[in-house]
Amino acid sequence: MLECIDLTKTLKKKETKALMDEMDRELALLQREAKQYQIPVMIIFEGWGASGKGTLINRLIQPMDPRGFKVFTIQKENEEEAMRPFLWRFWTKTPAKGRIHVFDRSWYNRVVKDRVDGHVSKEQLMNAYSEIVSFEEQLSVDGTLIIKFFLHISRKEQKKRFEKLASNEQTSWRVTDEDWKHNKQYDEYVGVYEDMLEKTDTAFAPWTIVEATDREYASAKILSTVVHILKNKLDDVRQAQNAQSPGAPAPAALPAEHAFKTSVLDGADLSKSLSKDVYKKRLKELQTKLGTLHSELYRRRVPVVLAFEGWDAGGKGGAIKRLTANLDPRGYEVVPTASPNDIEKAHHYLWRFWNNMPKAGHIAIFDRTWYGRVMVERIEGFCTEEEWQRAYKEINQMEEHLHNAGAVVIKFWMHIDKDEQERRFNERMSNPEKQWKITDEDWRNREKWEQYEDAVNEMIVRTSTTYAPWVIVEGNSKYYARVKVLKTVVDALEQRLK
């Protein structure tokens, strides 16, 4: 979930002044309402050392009434605490109804620090995850609102911050040997954090990843997120209490909401391209390699699932064509996904995809996928918000089951920009051989580009896992895109068959 986050986001203090003031007022009001409606709230801050947890917590609580919240700084457990189940000290710190408890680090220490320091065995680690999930579920189903932030900075940024602290006499004590060690082990920690985020990103207590390079940006995003989530929760509670008037209007989105959506697409460099000569040469090499690997994975009984999503005219079809050019047709299948038919509609939305999962040794290539649930179905209202919200977890579970059964699972997002799409649409319109490829619906979808952008960003962050990663394919250059797809598949299969 972390690799693809764009960490370059910034905001100017001056620009955000008015926005921040507005959100502060809103938060103060929401705190009072949460008290009135007796909602307990837990706000958890996790993240890299020197990512600014202290500063950002201070900023967040500024507008709040101090009688209604409390900040807990979680350090190593004391002797009393160490003699009880590790969640004990957090159970005792759960907020009463109407109160807000903010945690600077939390129970996640167990699966990060304790884990890396070797205080936790593998079995304890597995237990810890299930205990954490049930802890959060028990509280959340009982009415507690749980908001979890992960503050993300790059290795370089972290080093810069440590150096700055170390160079100042007043603050140098704050940087420990351990901090330097952590910075060296940054890559190892990425794995640990990914694992933590994957295993504990639930519908009832989802993570929000905060790009924390720029303090202004991070402050604004945190504030906006808390306001947004609290608002929704209050709305749900109010609606539940007035069950006689269902269908109350959904709360208006805050103007700031869109601005703080985590973007993974923005980071994609769409200027990447390949010359025709290089393309032809690389394509041939990779196709040959893939052919060999295909036989090998058949022999070794490895199932492979390749999922293609992307903008209309993003190049899915072309990429799939090049991918399969040199494959033995008995060993792969391309599964196109259209709107569900009546029989499919009468089943669980994952049913038709389960039906098409490949046998061991075979490749299934899905042209559009189960991700329709969190894109088109979400945006067009073909399913309820509750349904698409929980779909992230369900999809992760399905892909994990495939992984458990030995499958290689890769998901491609074929990415182009809006201008390139227009160019391709027009080209299709004017080319009689390609006209069938373009419909009125494509133009209509295009009008919802920003909505799709938000949905795709959220989808990629929530479902990019170590066992089934998303690969964003910079697709403005078709040559570049096709080679990248092939190369990714070849690399993954080589890795798997090693």
355 is a site residue for a copy of itself (CB under 8 A):
yes
Tell me how far, at minimum, the Cβ of 246 lies from a copy of itself, in Å: 5
Q: Quick one: 86 or 480, whose CB is closer to a copy of itself?
A: 86
Q: Are 36 and 139 in contact (CB under 8 A)?
A: no
Tell me how far, at minimum, the Cβ of 386 lies from a copy of itself, in Å: 9
**Residue 365 to residues 309, 328, 411, 485: CA-CA distances in angstroms?**
11, 14, 10, 12
By CB under 8 A, the residues from 118 to 147 that bind a copy of itself are: 124, 126-127, 131, 134, 138-139, 141-142, 144
Q: Which of 17, 300, 401, 434 contacts a copy of itself by CB under 8 A?
A: 401
DSSP bridge pairs for 332: 363
Q: Which of 47, 303, 315, 372 contacts a copy of itself by CB under 8 A?
A: 303
Q: Are 250 and 441 in contact (CB under 8 A)?
A: no
The greatest distance separating any two alpha carbons of the chain, rounded to the nearest whole angstrom, comes to: 77
29 is a site residue for a copy of itself (CB under 8 A):
no
Tell me how far, at minimum, the Cβ of 489 lies from a copy of itself, in Å: 21
The CA distance from 30 to 224, in Å, is 12
Tell me how far, at minimum, the Cβ of 37 lies from a copy of itself, in Å: 13
Q: H helices then E strands: how many in the chain?
A: 20, 10
Per-residue burial over 61-81, b if 16 or more Cβ lie within 10 Å, else e, is bebbeeeebebbebeebeeee
The CA distance from 479 to 492, in Å, is 20
Q: Quick one: 47 or 358, whose CB is closer to a copy of itself?
A: 358
Say which amino acid occupies 71: V
402 is a site residue for a copy of itself (CB under 8 A):
yes
The CA distance from 461 to 331, in Å, is 32
What secondary structure does DSSP assign to 78-126, as a single string? -HHHHTS-TTHHHHTTPPPTT-EEEEES-GGGGGTHHHHTT-S-HHHHH
Q: Which of 58, 397, 426, 439 contacts a copy of itself by CB under 8 A?
A: 397
By CB under 8 A, the residues from 231 to 250 that bind a copy of itself are: 243-244, 246
Q: Which of 66, 67, 80, 173 contacts a copy of itself by CB under 8 A?
A: 80
354 is a site residue for a copy of itself (CB under 8 A):
yes
By the 10 Å C-beta count (0-12 exposed, 13-18 middle, 19+ buried), 275 is classed as exposed
- Cα dihedral sign, 310-315-319-321: positive
By CB under 8 A, the residues from 31 to 70 that bind a copy of itself are: 38, 40
Q: Which of 361, 389, 442, 467 contacts a copy of itself by CB under 8 A?
A: 361
Q: Which of 156, 181, 359, 434 contacts a copy of itself by CB under 8 A?
A: 359
Size of the site for a copy of itself (CB under 8 A): 52
**Residue 421 to residues 247, 251, 416, 430, 484: CA-CA distances in angstroms?**
37, 33, 7, 14, 19
Tell me how far, at minimum, the Cβ of 116 lies from a copy of itself, in Å: 20
The binding track of 82-111 with respect to a copy of itself, each residue x by CB under 8 A or -, is -xxxxxx--xx-x-xxx-------------
Q: Among 210-218, 357-365, 444-452, 453-461, which window interacts with a copy of itself (CB under 8 A)?
A: 357-365
330 is a site residue for a copy of itself (CB under 8 A):
no
204 closest CA partner among 366, 390, 337? 390
Q: Quick one: 122 or 498, whose CB is closer to a copy of itself?
A: 122
Tell me how far, at minimum, the Cβ of 91 lies from a copy of itself, in Å: 4
Residues in contact with a copy of itself by CB under 8 A are 38, 40, 80, 83-88, 91-92, 94, 96-98, 124, 126-127, 131, 134, 138-139, 141-142, 144, 243-244, 246, 301, 303, 343, 346-351, 354-355, 357-361, 390, 394, 397, 401-402, 404-405, 407
